[in-house]
Amino acid sequence: MTLAVPERHARTAQWAAVGLGAVLRLRQYLHGRPVWLDEAMLLNNILGRSFGELLAPLESDQTAPVPFLWAVKLCANLFGTDERVLRLAPFLAGLALLVVVMLVARRVLPPWPAAVAVLLTALSPMLIYYANEVKPYGVDALWLALLTLLALRLGERPEARGRWVAVLLTGTWVAVASSPAPFVLAAVGLALVLKPGVRRARGAWGWLAAMALLWGVAFGTEYLLVYRAASDSAYMQRFWLPFFLSPALPGLLAKTDTALTLALQQWFLASGGGWRVLVAYGLLLPIGAGVIMLARRHGPALLALLFLPLALALLASAAQAYPAAPRLLLFSLPGLILALAAGTGAIAEGLGRRWPVAWLAAGAAALAFLPGLDAARMLLEPYEREALAPLIARVRAEHQPGAAIYVFGRSVPAWVFYTTDWRAPDLARVRGRSALVSSTGGAFRHAASRGRPVVDEGDDLIFGYADWRELIGVPTGTGPDSTGVNATRPDTGWAENEARRLKAAGGPEAWVVMSSFIPGAPDLVDSALAANGGRRLFREERSGAVLSRWEFRP
């Protein structure tokens, strides 16, 4: 006896998954976690510039599409600089992605596997995270899903002029609104050509030529204005070296294994112990089965639409032109989610033709178990990456006038963000500190090892602001070397040099602000300060951040 479940129940399940995903994202959004290093570097650019100035390359080795920068700035101008306001654009994109994936899944999958696809989207750890981060990676996933939907609609009615216009204009927008746009737009163009009904439609080749021209000009302009500076940066090339899957570089197999397992875990499972690597590799079976099933049902056009963007990005990685890091490949996740749901459905049918929906439910429960546990944990205790904001608030509230405040190099962007009055910002300070800790600055936050001990550095890196004096930390020397590998310990003498500087600064007291540090760095500074006659009055630790207060004996 076949287990019959009405299709309307599948649609209800799809909307329930959308609701679940919305609740998970809303919980993180309303928590309003403090901004951390990467967000602060981008926000100092956004808030410290006019809309026109955001058309130029950014400082602090940052890059992002201009429409994303403008959206964040517009929200800040309208509603202020609360963390929730600054994350409003990626949050809304994260909600929209749930609905768009559902609409795409309904077109390419049976009703119940479509519900599984929406559930996987709702629970994806990385999609949840980047719906609440001032970074464009989650927005990139929305653009691919939206163009996929519009291309599918065009394939259904290629004679409809309005659908051609929708693809043309949306693709032009994506060309300037998404850094992986070339991969996505090339896939959309090829998918339309591979669809017989589309390429035989009246005027189709004229539309396709217009797409190629407009999309190429739009992305080329954005590249010249924004992206070229980052692609030419020697530091960024060195930073991303572990994620360039090039045969010309050493360690290709190891790097490929790392990139693959990181992506599968962060996209579908959440990171964890080594056993999750085996689980991650297990996902390749249903994904492969799903690709085969989609090819049989929909042909090569859909395969190009869903999977060619990822393939092109990996080819670019092999050419050392685009890093194969999970967050930079997040735009391709909707296609893989559809494949995973399709493969799970195909396997369920193969296991039990009598109760296929029951088998599919079991498969969906297995896929949802680990990310579901992670999502439940974050409902109870929202994620915080670097809780530096409350520590900075304590410094501002409790410091004595004339205090010396040591700011670790990688803490400078967040320190500047939280100590600036953005209603009347000191832009010289914002830009000066940002430039100082950038890859071309004298106190680069992530410099490689000096290859020698640190002696008498940074005596000029002390600045007055408000009623305190800021000592900007000199580099630890733990940044990526010529092979892209970070050091595990600061350069010899680094902590002693910083303790010397802080003692020499004088004043009634000394504060130490640290975040984004390698393990053990705060303890090294504490030991060096104690050896220089310092007495620690207190030390407070938060997620990824440490604050301590000191005085020196005469």
Q: Where along the chain do its domains lie?
A: 10-32+87-380, 389-552
Name the token pair of 340.
Answer: 């995973």
Instruction: Compute the C-alpha angle 434/440/443, nearest 5°.
Output: 60
User: What are the tokens at 345?
Assistant: 């459905």
Structure tokens at 134: 């001032």
| Whole-Å CA distances, 129 to 24, 137, 375 | 10, 10, 10
Laid out side by side, the sheet with 545-552 consists of: 462-465, 468-472, 404-407, 510-515, 545-552, 534-542
Instruction: Find the helix or strand (DSSP H, E) in which 189 lies.
Output: helix 181-194
Residue type, 67: P
- State how far the Cα of 235 lies from the Cα of 375, in Å rounded to an integer: 35
Angle between helices 88-108 and 111-123 (to 10 degrees): 160
Rounded to an integer, what distance in angstroms lies between the CA atom of residue 24 and that of residue 383? 12
Q: Which residue has the tokens 């938060």?
A: 542
Q: CB within 8 A of 519, min separation 6: which ones? A: none
Q: What gap in Å lies between CA 540 and CA 554, rounded to an integer?
A: 25
pLDDT per residue rounded down to tens, the chain (554 residues): 334 566 788 999 999 999 999 999 999 999 999 999 999 999 999 999 999 999 999 999 999 999 999 999 999 999 999 999 999 999 999 999 999 999 999 999 999 999 999 999 999 999 999 999 999 999 999 999 999 999 999 999 999 999 999 999 999 999 999 999 999 999 999 999 999 999 999 999 999 999 999 999 999 999 998 888 888 888 998 999 999 999 999 999 999 999 999 999 999 998 777 778 888 899 999 999 999 999 999 999 999 999 999 999 999 999 999 999 999 999 999 999 999 999 999 998 888 666 777 888 899 999 999 999 999 999 999 999 999 999 999 999 999 999 999 999 999 999 999 999 999 999 999 999 999 999 999 999 999 999 999 999 999 999 999 999 999 999 999 999 988 899 999 999 999 999 999 999 988 999 999 999 999 999 999 999 999 999 999 999 999 999 999 999 77
- What pLDDT score was predicted for residue 124? 97
CB 257: neighbour CB atoms within 10 A? 13
From first CA to last CA, the distance across the chain in angstroms is 88
* 3-class secondary structure, 474: coil
- Do residues 511 and 403 lie in contact, with contact meaning Cβ atoms separated by under 8 Å? yes
Q: What residue type is assigned to position 428 of the chain?
A: A
CATH class of this structure's domain 389-552: alpha beta
Q: Find the DSSP H helices in 399-441.
A: 412-419, 427-436
Q: Report the phi/psi class of residue 533: left, alpha or beta, with left for phi > 0 and alpha for psi in -120 to 50.
A: left
Q: What is the pLDDT of residue 3?
A: 42
Look at residue 407 and give its three-state secondary structure.
strand
Question: Which residue, among 187, 194, 229, 177, has the nearest Cα to 72 in the 3D structure?
Answer: 177
Residue position matching structure tokens 């936050």: 445
Q: Going by DSSP bridges, is the β-strand pair 404-407/545-552 parallel, antiparallel, or unpaired? A: unpaired
Structure tokens at 195: 């669809």
Q: Which residues contact 188 (CB under 8 A, 6 or more apart)?
A: 147, 148, 151, 167, 171, 305
Which sign, positive or negative, has the C-alpha torsion 531, 532, 536, 540?
Answer: negative
Half-sphere exposure of 233 (CA within 13 A, CB side): 22
Beta bridge partners of 158: none
DSSP 8-class letter at 442: T
The owner of tokens 């002029």 is 161
Interatomic CA distance for residues 357 and 65, integer angstroms: 43
Give the per-residue pLDDT at 5.
60
| pLDDT at res. 280 | 87
* Residue 552: strand pairing partners: 534
Helix (H) / strand (E) element for 498: namely helix 494-504
What are the backbone dihedrals phi and psi of residue 274, each rounded to the nearest 5 degrees, phi first? -60, -25
3-class secondary structure, 237: helix
- Burial of 553 by CB count in 10 Å (0-12 exposed, 13-18 middle, 19+ buried)? exposed
